[in-house]
Structure 1
Amino acid sequence: MIFVSILTAILFLGGWYPPVNLPPFTWVPGTVWLIAKTAFLLFVFLWIRATFPRYRYDQIMRLGWKVFIPVTIAWIVVIGIALETPLRAVLR
């Protein structure tokens, strides 16, 4: 969880850069910002893990096969129709 938090902080939260480029924030060293962002993400991950119930493997498989795959296929069809309609107007 620590590795995922550090990776998420680097990739999505700016890593060692301050959130706002203003003088009070720029006085803090970059490693402190990275540690603070990592600690925040760890807190969020642990909070979510403690709050939501754990699912059994068969429940996750049922959710994937009966919910996520049909929704994904329907969404691919919707996006395909949405992208095809403007292309027909351009190709005419």
Structure 2
Amino acid sequence: MPNAFPKEFRNDVIAVARRREAPVSRIAKGFGAFESCLQRWLKIADVEDGAKPGVTQVDATELREARECIWLLEQENEILRRAAAHLSQASFPK
């Protein structure tokens, strides 16, 4: 798998593409990137800048961390629920 382009490079290419002085295909070729790659960068940049609706990288990271935390808390709750059920059964003589 090829190495990712540096963030500064992507920002420069996006800035040039947003000026619309040339077709996206020619800009991508001039910078040594694929056209589809540049189009994806432009989509992501539009979402990050708020020009288009979507989930930003910061929001996606935050959501992923929140889901992991919820999953962990649910697991801990299940363990405590089972422990409480086990202990309540053990306290009554048979």
What range is the shorter-chain TM-score in? 0.3 to 0.5
- TM-score norm. by structure 2 comes to 0.32
Q: Which has the higher contact order (CA 8 A, sep 6+)?
A: 1
Which structure has the larger Rg? 2
